[in-house]
């Protein structure tokens, strides 16, 4: 049987590559917001007239008005449309998902997704990565070899300033037979968990220590936010606040990993 599996790796782009990624993040966000705005306007125009059909714009519509959209991967823009389509379907299927929102450049994680077409996404010599529209190779920390065929790649920049790539791969796996067996899990204090077969899973002391440090640094971040507010300084311009914010983001990553 086939399955899709994602592999996440740290990448180390050059300054020139960072500029390309920043353009890509911005263009994907721009197209997503333009399409969402057009859909909302179109809905208002057609909701009371059943004879009119909603028109869904495509990314190509905006390239003449915004020529800089041609500088980035067209598949990334197409995926922005797919993401918006999915958000709309989720909302109309289940309102608890919430109506699609406009994307902000201030989001802590910026990303875009592109597709592999005949080797446009490839790993080179276990050290480098090739992606569409970017002429130079990206340095990658490959801690394990992905299995199967690369279908797509999502490049992201976190608030810590670190860059990552998630490779979605399709691989063939052998389906294991069902055992119909069950096991109980008891969460404890001394041990993280005790299984019904007697196996004990230790508490991760490192994680506990990092969580305490994270809480301490978050309190410091809150104090710096209050101090900036008292001085009448915008948080985006408060250097100490932004420095502490990056520190908190790095700690978040360590706890998650």
Check whether residue 94 and residue 142 sit in a common domain. yes
57 and 10 housed in the same domain: yes
Mean pLDDT of 65-70: 94
pLDDT at 189: 58
Give the residue numbers spanning the domain of 212. Answer: 205-256
Counting the structural domains of the chain, the total is 2
Q: What is the pLDDT of residue 183?
A: 76
Listed residues 171, 193, 225: the one ending a domain? 171
193 versus 131: which is more confidently predicted? 131
Model-level pTM greater than 0.75? no
Q: Is residue 196 part of a domain?
A: no
Average pLDDT over residues 47-52: 63
Q: Has residue 110 been placed in a domain?
A: yes
* Same domain flag for 104 and 41: yes
- In this structure, the answer to whether residues 126 and 24 fall within a common structural domain is yes
Is 90 exceeded by the pLDDT of residue 27? yes
Q: What is the pLDDT of residue 199?
A: 78
- Characterize the bridge pairing of strands 122-124 and 128-130: antiparallel
Give residue 53's pLDDT.
Answer: 66
- Cβ atoms < 10 Å from Cβ of 44: 9
pLDDT of residue 208 exceeding 80: no
Cα distance between residue 22 and residue 28, in whole Å = 10
Q: Are residues 8 and 105 in the same domain?
A: yes
Question: Do 37 and 92 fall within a single domain?
Answer: yes
How does pLDDT run across 34-43, given as a tens digit for each residue? 999 998 888 7
- Contact predicate 219/196, CB 8 Å: no
Last residue of a domain, one of 146, 171, 196: 171
| Residue 182 belongs to some domain of the structure | no
Is there a domain that residue 223 lies in?
yes
Considering only residues 75 and 221, tell me which one the structure prediction assigns the higher pLDDT.
75
Does residue 232 form part of some domain? yes
- The domain boundary, picked from 171, 196, 219, lies at 171
Say how far apart CA 154 and CA 125 lie, in whole Å. Answer: 20
Cα–Cα distance, 61 to 36 (Å, whole number): 13
Model confidence pLDDT, tens digit, residues 112-155: 999 999 999 999 999 999 999 999 999 999 989 999 999 999 99
Is 213 domain-assigned? yes
Are 7 and 101 found together in one domain?
yes
């Amino acid at each position: 049987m086939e399955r899709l599996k994602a592999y996440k790796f740290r990448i180390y782009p050059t300054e020139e590559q960072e500029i390309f990624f920043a353009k890509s993040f911005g263009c994907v966000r721009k197209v997503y917001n333009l399409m969402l705005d057009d859909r909302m306007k179109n809905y208002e125009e057609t909701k009371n007239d059943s004879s009119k059909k909603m028109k869904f714009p495509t990314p190509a519509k905006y390239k003449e008005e915004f020529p800089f959209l041609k500088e980035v991967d067209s598949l990334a823009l197409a995926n922005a449309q797919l993401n918006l389509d999915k958000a709309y379907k989720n909302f109309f299927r289940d309102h608890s998902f919430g109506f699609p929102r406009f994307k902000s450049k201030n989001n802590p994680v910026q990303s875009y997704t592109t597709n592999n077409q005949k080797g446009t996404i490839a790993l080179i010599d276990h050290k480098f990565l090739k992606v569409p529209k970017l002429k130079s190779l990206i340095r990658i920390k490959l801690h394990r070899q992905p299995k199967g065929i690369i279908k797509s790649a999502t490049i992201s920049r976190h608030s810590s300033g670190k860059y990552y790539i998630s490779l979605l791969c399709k691989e063939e796996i052998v389906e294991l037979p069902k055992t119909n067996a069950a096991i109980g899990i008891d969460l404890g204090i001394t041990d993280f968990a005790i299984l019904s077969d007697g196996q004990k899973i230790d508490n991760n002391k490192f994680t506990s220590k990092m969580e305490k440090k994270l809480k301490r640094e978050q309190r410091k971040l809150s104090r710096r936010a209050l101090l900036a507010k008292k001085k009448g300084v915008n948080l985006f311009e408060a250097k100490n606040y932004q420095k502490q914010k990056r520190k908190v983001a790095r700690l978040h990553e360590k706890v998650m990993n």
